[in-house]
Amino acid sequence: MTAKLAEALAGIVGPEHVSVEPGALAAHARDATPLFDAMPQAVVHPGSAEEVAAILRYATAEGVPVVPRGAGSNLCAGTVPLHGGIVLVLTRLNRILEVSRDELLARVQTGVPTAKLAAAAAEAGLLYAPDPGSHTVSTVGGNVATCAGGLRGLKYGVTRNYVLGLEAVLPTGEIIRTGGRLWKDVAGYDLTRLLTGSEGTLAVITEATVALLPKPETTGTGVAYFPTLADASRAVTAVIASGIVPATLEFLDQKCIAAVEEFAGLGLRADAGALLLFGDDGQAATVEGNLARIEGICADEGALEVTLAEDVARADALLAARRCSLPALSRLGSLTVLEDVSVPRHRLAGMVARIDEIAAAHDLLIATFGHAGDGNLHPTCVLDPDDGEAIERCHQAFAEIFSAAIALDGTITGEHGVGAAKLPYLEERLGGDQVALLGRIKRAFDPAGILNPGKLGS
């Protein structure tokens, strides 16, 4: 079986881009999600959309599962080959094809790391706004497939707001181009948006055309410390209510502050119950004015201390520290189970309180950080990997956290995706009719059911 598969794949991409050795298979049995692990039969690195198409035609004919993968940094077990088959690694498709100042767009192959796209845009005086925490690692294709969010979501939205068009390969082998270079285009169902967030279950994305913005003249960042997360949440609501939509409103709870400080050594205050990282960009006078107003509102809401970053280096260091919250937390215990619930912004404090109650009821250490401005929280349970009983309690606690989020008009995942990790909870969020519709859409794209089986709509 493996020999036949390897030979067929080698015939398409060349033997040097096919791996069937046990070592290569073991390295692709997991992604950044803990507790999920399954061995594929082959790993293949195609070099073009045409090669992807040939692989998918073969897989559909033979009924072999195919799991598309970028950098494997997703946090929902979206790229774990639950049913074996082929892991299709798209990192060879790594060229930036075009950055256009005239049209304010870029065209990139799917395997370009997001930070490289952002850097190429910046070089042309432009901004690629989506900036997920993993942007140095994760790929544009992976970001589109999960509709990744980031630290600027409040003001700028998420990946879906920037995808103008896609080149994608259907499981049956056709190469389609959706959308294009147009801001207005209502010809047909919006397949660009359907594929965005489809988690590799409908088609393999091979190229993306994304919208860019003029680079803001300046950016500014500040930090406010509060006695409790509830105080910080109140300040967030007050900031938005005052008419300011800042680029960044991120928070860390006390446990996260301590972990991040240990890694980054930025002199963060360990005695505070919550840290609010705020930032804005735009014209210098506007940024300065907005930051001053946020500073004032935080003080009014009981902040222990508010400081503005004196320079870009300090601001970058603060943002980088926020980005590494998850791995920094792993210093407390080597198994970190992180989730991604999202609630309407004004319910953030209520959700945080529910998380704390649930953690206490199950005797678990759950630290929470996230995007306060979006109501998107990342409760992270820190565990001993050998304590099976605690892992069981953790699963129970997260089931309750998902239910709590839904009860607060929220969702089970804001930006990480459903993957294999949250599929059991999808029906609770969507209802049976929508889940059935997802299944029908999936079958329309993928009649043989080969693409990322065991995930959305399968």
Partner 1 sequence: MTERPIFDKDLLDRCISCGFCLPACPTYAMTGKETSSPRGRITLMRALETGRLDDDDPTLAEESSFCLGCRACETVCPAGVQYGSLLEQWRDHQWQGRRRPWIARVLMAVVSRPALLRLQRLVRRHASGPARAAAPEAPVSLMLGCVERGLYPGVSRAVRRLRPEVSVPAGQGCCGALHAHNGDSEGGARLARELGGRLPGTIVTTAGGCAAHLAHHVGRDRVKELSEYLTEAGYEPAGQVTVDGRRARAALQDSCHLRNGLGVTRPPRELIAAVADYVELPGAGDCCGAAGTYAMVRPADSRAVLDPKLDAIEAADLDYLVTVNPGCLRQLQQGLRRRRSRVKVVHLAEFLALAGG
The contact set with partner 1 (CB under 8 A) reads: 19, 21-24, 26-32, 34, 43, 45, 71-73, 89, 91-92, 94, 113, 115, 134, 136-138, 263, 324, 326-328, 330-331, 334-336, 385
Closest to partner 1 by CB, 32 or 203: 32
Q: Residue 154, class by beta-carbon neighbours within 10 Å (0-12 exposed, 13-18 middle, 19+ buried)?
A: buried
Closest to partner 1 by CB, 49 or 71: 71
Closest to partner 1 by CB, 138 or 290: 138
Q: What 3-state DSSP class applies to 106?
A: strand
Least distance between partner 1 and beta carbon 113 (Å): 7
Sign of CA dihedral 13, 14, 18, 20: positive
Separation in Å, CA 7 to CA 1, 19, 106, 181: 10, 11, 37, 39
CA atoms within 13 A on the CB side of 75: 22
- Tell me the sheet residues that pair with 252: 275, 369
Least distance between partner 1 and beta carbon 39 (Å): 8
Closest to partner 1 by CB, 116 or 346: 116
Closest to partner 1 by CB, 24 or 299: 24
Least distance between partner 1 and beta carbon 73 (Å): 4
Cβ atoms of 117 and 159 within 8 Å: the answer is no
User: What distance in Å separates the CA atoms of residue 320 and residue 318, rounded to the nearest whole number?
Assistant: 5
User: What distance in Å separates the CA atoms of residue 92 and residue 346, rounded to the nearest whole number?
Assistant: 43
Least distance between partner 1 and beta carbon 357 (Å): 26
Least distance between partner 1 and beta carbon 416 (Å): 13
Closest to partner 1 by CB, 5 or 25: 25
User: What distance in Å separates the CA atoms of residue 242 and residue 119, rounded to the nearest whole number?
Assistant: 33
Least distance between partner 1 and beta carbon 409 (Å): 31
